[in-house]
């Protein structure tokens, strides 16, 4: 990637703090401070904008290989850049499954070719996501893709003995098992949160206990074998309590929450519009409040999108036959703004921590030793950052999104904010809210 | 009235009473030599059935035909899932054919709700998954009123698989609207977890409830529940929640026994109960036609045919006196 272009960004507020200028040179932040000047540099007036370190997503479905009708690495990373991300983890439930060094390297290379953000493949825990036999975790860790997070996401590693072995095995190379916590027998045919609305709507319930039972078990297993577990898309108040308890023991447990679980609730299912069908399902107002509090106090480490694109024909159906999942990369920061910043529960430094520093640390995103993502906006650090207009407001229009799919649950909602520019190692991927290349 | 009938909750008390009163008028016609009214002449009613349900389909077909509508039966079982056309494409096809009303039976909860977003005609829910079956609730209320003379304050006990029953959901909502007091009786495994938020009482003890019951409605136990640990054995279910002769004797003398059919004789209801004079099961079937006629008449009778420009998309409430006039005209013709 060319690093010849220098950029001088004037008057931005790093992490929402006092205005400063940033000089980007050679892929790094060369200088910060007021009143910088740099001959020959491109100048971007950032006055009024907030600068955050480039966002890092621990959980996205880029659908390639296998479902290029829904998304590709190219279109998915375009969506990521538009949303302010400079790194995304690509989940393993592709076709073929990302369960060998060959497949994860293919996805990693596709990400490099697209060049819009770093694509870090997640490896499957079990071969073919079948839940019965470990995939070659070591080979994926040693591959060019340097896999550190392993997950059968979309399915739970429900066999306790297999989960124990996976947690133990990845200790050899500092791996993390990211669990999709869903007890399968308790969620047979489940369609939405089990509660008042599932009863009225006649849709099979997905009880909170099916998530919480697995989280409790896996925290205990991780403690027992001295390994690290990461809990994907935490969705219930009970889960937050369990994770808080596990962390209080000093166990190596981390967790993520999705933007949609921070803002939306299960009553939306009353529309029977499957754009609101997602796994784990939208929960109650009490769960939303607990998730926000958990993210604010650090019990939940980070926000991850669970970006799950689907073609229209998989959503324009009856609810029970529709696919689970929502897109999220393009709206994540705006939703966190609405749910956490506007409610006074996080400041912009907190947002930078939960959407960049913490996920980058969990994902162990480093190049040749030096961390590439999640670093503060300071001289000598990588010039990967997002410029955000917190004063903007607009209605989400799926037709304007760059993801290949249109299944955003925020369609028609007015959300605050607008990503103005995204830089990956000093190169703009987004300028004026549009793809820069 | 709303344009569609998808949930019993769509009906206000006045709407529901209008349907029942209209059905009363129409029921008188059943005794006449000519059982047909010209009211819906030129209108098209599509019966779109994604599940086998001979009883409900025939009931709607008879209702539409007695109102002189053109009836198209579209049996689409299994075609929406995996093979064949999507529900949306089917909806667009029906739309192009100019369906004034689509009567839909579908295994997916919410399918009629989705359909209503894709067609201009009226959608009538003839049973969707484990959600609702509003015309069944209407015919049940109609039957109760005919037998017992009122609905206000009536003590109705609904027994069985409430969790998976569209009949129970619609009945709870409609009977609440009409002022009856509903008690649900079931093993705890067959009640929704949040049933305490429903506008009714809940009990696990059928024998304790029956002496304070005016109407007992027995729900069918589906075969697939029997193998999924909802209860230990059919025999145990039958002993605890079935209605046999001895238990029927606990009912007050005037009380009636209902069942939406089809029955599992010997499981939720004993043959001696099903065939007793208290049983309204055969009457319910006859009443179903009158109630469905009333629904179609009220949804379609006041609006212009599909595709007619300037047509009023909303259903128009027609006073019963209009219908009485039409009936009189028919008889004197």
Tell me the β-bridge partners of B106: B128
pLDDT in tens, B206-222: 999 999 999 999 999 98
d(CA A204, CA A213) in angstroms, rounded, equals: 19
Q: Is B105 a catalytic residue?
A: yes
| Minimal C-alpha gap between A280 and chain B (Å) | 18
Q: Enumerate residue ranges in chain A where pLDDT < 70.
A: 1-4, 367-369
Upper half-sphere CA count for residue A233 (Cβ side, 13 Å):
30
For residue B314, is pLDDT > 60?
Answer: no
* Annotated catalytic residue, options A99, A301, A306, A314: A306
Q: What is the dihedral of CA A3, A8, A13, A14, to 10 degrees?
A: 30
Q: Are A374 and A355 in contact (CB under 8 A)?
A: no
d(CA B72, CA A330) in angstroms, rounded, equals: 46
Residue A391's H or E segment, with its range, is: strand A385-395
For residue B315, the model assigns a pLDDT of 38
Q: Are A397 and A411 in contact (CB under 8 A)?
A: yes
What does the DSSP assignment read for B92-111? HHHHHHT-SEEEEEESSTTH
For residue A368, the model assigns a pLDDT of 59
For residue B331, is pLDDT > 50?
Answer: no
**What class, spelled out in words, does domain B134-283 have in CATH?**
alpha beta
**What class, spelled out in words, does domain B8-132+284-332 have in CATH?**
alpha beta
| Minimal C-alpha gap between A51 and chain B (Å) | 43
Asked if B193 and A199 come within 8 Å (Cβ–Cβ), the reply is yes
Enumerate residues 6+ apart whose C-beta is below 8 A from B27. Answer: B287, B290
From the number of C-beta atoms within 10 Å of its C-beta (0-12, 13-18, 19+), residue A264 rates as buried
Enumerate residues 6+ apart whose C-beta is below 8 A from A48. Answer: A11, A389, A391
CB pairs under 8 A between A and B: 71
For residue A370, the model assigns a pLDDT of 74
Instruction: List the single residue in B86, B106, B193 with the smallest CB-CB distance to A313.
Output: B86
- For residue A395, which of A327, A334, A436, A305 has the smallest C-alpha distance? A334
Phi-psi region of A88 (alpha: psi -120 to 50; beta: other; left: phi over 0): beta
For residue B84, is pLDDT > 80?
Answer: no
Instruction: List the single residue in B81, B193, B197 with the smallest CB-CB distance to A205.
Output: B193
pLDDT band at B323 (very low <50, low <70, confident <90, very high): low
Pairing of strands B256-258, B215-218: parallel
For residue B310, the model assigns a pLDDT of 38
For residue B313, is pLDDT > 80?
Answer: no
Instruction: Look at residue A232 and give its three-state secondary structure.
Output: coil
* CB within 8 Å of chain B, chain A residues 207-226: 207
Chain A residues in contact with B8 (beta carbon < 8 A): none
Enumerate residues 6+ apart whose C-beta is below 8 A from A141. Answer: A123, A147, A148, A170, A173, A175
Q: Is A306 a catalytic residue?
A: yes
d(CA A267, CA A301) in angstroms, rounded, equals: 27
How far lies A183's CA from each of A155, A191, A396, in Å?
Answer: 9, 14, 34
Q: How many CB atoms lie within 10 A of CB A88?
A: 33
In chain B, list all ranges with CATH 3.40.50.1370. 8-132+284-332, 134-283
| Minimal C-alpha gap between B74 and chain A (Å) | 18
Upper half-sphere CA count for residue B110 (Cβ side, 13 Å):
26
The ipTM of this complex is 0.90
Q: How many CB atoms lie within 10 A of CB A377?
A: 23
pLDDT in tens, B155-165: 999 999 999 99
For residue B255, the model assigns a pLDDT of 98
For residue B95, the model assigns a pLDDT of 87
For residue B143, the model assigns a pLDDT of 98
Token duo for residue B275: 């065939």
d(CA B263, CA B167) in angstroms, rounded, equals: 14
pTM of the model: 0.93
Enumerate residues 6+ apart whose C-beta is below 8 A from A59. Answer: A89, A91, A153, A178, A232, A233, A256, A258, A304, A305, A306, A307
For residue B236, the model assigns a pLDDT of 94
SS3 string, B169-228, reads HHHHHHHHHCCCEEEEECCHHHCCCCHHHCCCEEECCHHHHHHHCCEEEECCCCHHHHHC
DSSP state of A322: S
- Please, what's the b/e burial string for A178-217 (b: 16 or more CB within 10 A of its CB; e: otherwise)? bbbbbbeebbeebbbbbbbbbbbbbbbbbbbebbbbbbbb
d(CA A47, CA A10) in angstroms, rounded, equals: 6
Instruction: Look at residue A271 and give its three-state secondary structure.
Output: helix
Enumerate residues 6+ apart whose C-beta is below 8 A from A431. Answer: A44, A420, A421
For residue B325, is pLDDT > 50?
Answer: yes
d(CA B249, CA B263) in angstroms, rounded, equals: 20
Residue A288 has φ and ψ, to the nearest 5°, of: -60, -45
Q: Are A364 and A174 in contact (CB under 8 A)?
A: yes
Q: Are B237 and B202 in contact (CB under 8 A)?
A: no
For residue B306, the model assigns a pLDDT of 52
Q: Is B133 a catalytic residue?
A: yes
State how far Cα A391 lies from the chain centre.
Answer: 24
What does the DSSP assignment read for B134-164? HHHHHHHHHHHHHHHS--TT-EEEEES--TT
User: Nearest-CA residue of chain B relative to A314?
Assistant: B86
For residue B26, the model assigns a pLDDT of 93
d(CA A125, CA A135) in angstroms, rounded, equals: 6
d(CA B267, CA A131) in angstroms, rounded, equals: 40
d(CA A227, CA B179) in angstroms, rounded, equals: 60
DSSP state of B265: B
Tell me the β-bridge partners of A205: A192
State how far Cα B103 lies from the chain centre.
Answer: 12
Q: Are A153 and A59 in contact (CB under 8 A)?
A: yes
For residue B309, the model assigns a pLDDT of 39
pLDDT in tens, B15-59: 999 999 999 999 987 778 777 899 999 999 999 999 988 899 999
pLDDT band at B77 (very low <50, low <70, confident <90, very high): low
Q: Are A126 and A152 in contact (CB under 8 A)?
A: yes
For residue B281, is pLDDT > 60?
Answer: yes
The verdict on B166 touching A (C-beta cutoff 8 Å) is yes
State how far Cα A390 lies from the chain centre.
Answer: 20
Token duo for residue A281: 């399902």
Enumerate residues 6+ apart whose C-beta is below 8 A from A172. Answer: A138
Asked if A202 and B169 come within 8 Å (Cβ–Cβ), the reply is yes
d(CA B268, CA A121) in angstroms, rounded, equals: 55
Enumerate residues 6+ apart whose C-beta is below 8 A from A220. Answer: none
d(CA A429, CA A86) in angstroms, rounded, equals: 9
For residue B305, is pLDDT > 60?
Answer: no
pLDDT band at B301 (very low <50, low <70, confident <90, very high): confident
Tell me the β-bridge partners of A14: A51
Chain B residues in contact with A272 (beta carbon < 8 A): 109-110, 113-114
Chain B residues in contact with A194 (beta carbon < 8 A): 193
Instruction: List the single residue in B81, B110, B111 with the smallest CB-CB distance to A201.
Output: B110
How far lies B328's CA from each of B52, B66, B333, in Å?
Answer: 37, 16, 8
Asked if B198 and A199 come within 8 Å (Cβ–Cβ), the reply is yes
The CA-CA-CA angle for residues A152, A153, A159, to 5°, reads 50
- For residue A53, which of A389, A343, A362, A425 has the smallest C-alpha distance? A425
Going along chain A from its start, the domains and CATH numbers come out as 7-51+378-398+414-435 (2.30.40.10), 55-363 (3.20.20.140)
- For residue B287, which of B36, B22, B14, B37 has the smallest C-alpha distance? B22
DSSP state of A326: B
């Amino acid at each position: 990637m060319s690093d010849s272009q220098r950029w001088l960004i004037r008057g931005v507020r790093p992490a929402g703090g006092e205005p400063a200028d940033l000089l980007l040179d050679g892929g790094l932040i060369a200088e910060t401070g007021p009143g910088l000047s740099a001959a020959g540099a491109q100048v971007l007036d950032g006055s009024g904008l907030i600068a955050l370190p480039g966002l890092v997503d621990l959980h996205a479905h880029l659908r390639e290989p296998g479902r290029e009708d829904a998304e590709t690495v190219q279109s998915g990373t375009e969506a990521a850049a538009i949303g302010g991300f400079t790194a995304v983890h690509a989940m393993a439930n592709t076709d073929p499954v990302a369960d060998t060094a060959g497949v994860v390297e293919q996805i990693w290379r596709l990400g490099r070719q697209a060049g819009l953000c770093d694509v870090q493949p997640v490896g499957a825990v079990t071969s073919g996501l079948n839940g019965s036999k470990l995939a070659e975790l070591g080979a994926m860790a040693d591959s060019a893709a340097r896999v550190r997070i392993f997950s059968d996401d979309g399915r739970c590693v429900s066999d306790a003995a297999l989960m124990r072995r996976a947690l133990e095995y990845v200790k050899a190379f500092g791996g993390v098992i990211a669990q999709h916590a869903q007890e399968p027998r308790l969620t047979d045919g489940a369609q939405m949160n089990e509660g008042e609305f599932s009863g009225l709507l006649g849709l099979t319930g997905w009880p909170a206990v099916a998530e919480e039972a697995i989280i409790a078990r896996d925290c205990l297993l991780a403690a027992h074998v001295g390994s690290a577990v990461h809990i994907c898309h935490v969705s219930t108040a009970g889960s937050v309590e369990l994770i808080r308890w596990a962390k209080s023991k000093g166990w190596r447990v981390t967790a993520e929450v999705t933007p949609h679980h921070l803002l939306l609730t299960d009553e939306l299912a009353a529309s029977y519009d499957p754009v609101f069908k997602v796994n784990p399902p939208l929960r109650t107002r009490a769960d939303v409040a607990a998730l926000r509090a958990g993210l604010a106090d650090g019990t939940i480490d980070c926000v991850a999108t669970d970006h799950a694109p689907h073609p229209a024909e998989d959503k324009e159906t009856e609810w029970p036959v529709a696919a689970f999942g929502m897109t999220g990369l393009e709206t994540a920061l705006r939703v966190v703004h609405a749910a956490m910043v506007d409610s006074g529960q996080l400041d912009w430094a907190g947002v930078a921590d939960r959407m960049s520093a913490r996920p980058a640390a969990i994902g162990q995103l480093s190049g040749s030793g030096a961390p590439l993502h999640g670093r503060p906006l300071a001289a000598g650090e990588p010039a990967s950052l997002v410029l955000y207009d917190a004063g903007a407001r607009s209605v989400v229009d799926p037709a304007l999104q760059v993801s290949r799919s249109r299944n955003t649950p925020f369609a028609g909602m007015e959300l605050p904010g607008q990503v103005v520019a995204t830089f990956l190692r000093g190169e703009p991927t987004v300028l004026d809210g549009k793809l820069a290349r | 009235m709303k344009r569609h009938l998808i949930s019993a909750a769509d009906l206000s008390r006045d709407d529901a009473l209008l349907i029942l009163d209209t059905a009363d008028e129409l029921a008188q016609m059943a005794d006449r030599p000519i059982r047909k009214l010209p009211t819906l002449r030129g209108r098209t009613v599509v019966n779109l059935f994604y599940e086998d349900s001979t009883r409900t389909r025939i009931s709607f077909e008879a209702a539409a035909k007695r109102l002189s509508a053109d009836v198209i039966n579209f049996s689409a079982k299994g075609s929406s899932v995996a093979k064949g056309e999507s529900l949306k494409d089917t909806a667009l096809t029906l739309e192009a054919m100019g369906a004034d009303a689509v009567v839909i039976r579908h295994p997916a909860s919410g399918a009629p709700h989705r359909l209503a977003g894709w067609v201009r005609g009226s959608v009538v829910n003839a049973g969707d998954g484990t959600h609702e079956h509003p015309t069944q609730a209407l015919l049940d209320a109609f039957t109760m009123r005919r037998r017992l003379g009122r609905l206000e304050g009536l003590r109705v006990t609904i027994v069985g698989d409430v969790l998976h029953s569209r009949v129970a959901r619609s009945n709870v909502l409609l009977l609440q609207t009409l002022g009856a007091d509903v008690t649900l009786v079931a093993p705890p495994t067959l009640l929704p977890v949040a049933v305490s938020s429903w506008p009714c009482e809940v009990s696990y003890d059928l024998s304790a409830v029956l002496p304070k019951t005016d109407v007992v409605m027995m729900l069918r136990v589906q075969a697939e529940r029997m193998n999924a640990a909802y209860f230990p054995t059919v025999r145990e279910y039958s002993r605890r929640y079935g209605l046999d002769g001895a238990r029927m004797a606990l009912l007050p003398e005037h009380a009636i026994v209902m069942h939406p059919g089809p029955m599992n004789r010997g499981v939720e209801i004993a043959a001696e109960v099903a065939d007793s004079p208290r049983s309204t099961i055969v009457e319910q079937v006859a009443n179903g036609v009158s109630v469905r006629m009333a629904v179609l008449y009220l949804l379609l009778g006041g609006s212009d045919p599909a595709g007619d420009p300037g047509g009023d998309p909303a259903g128009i409430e027609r006073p019963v006196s209009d219908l009485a006039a039409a009936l009189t005209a028919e008889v004197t013709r």
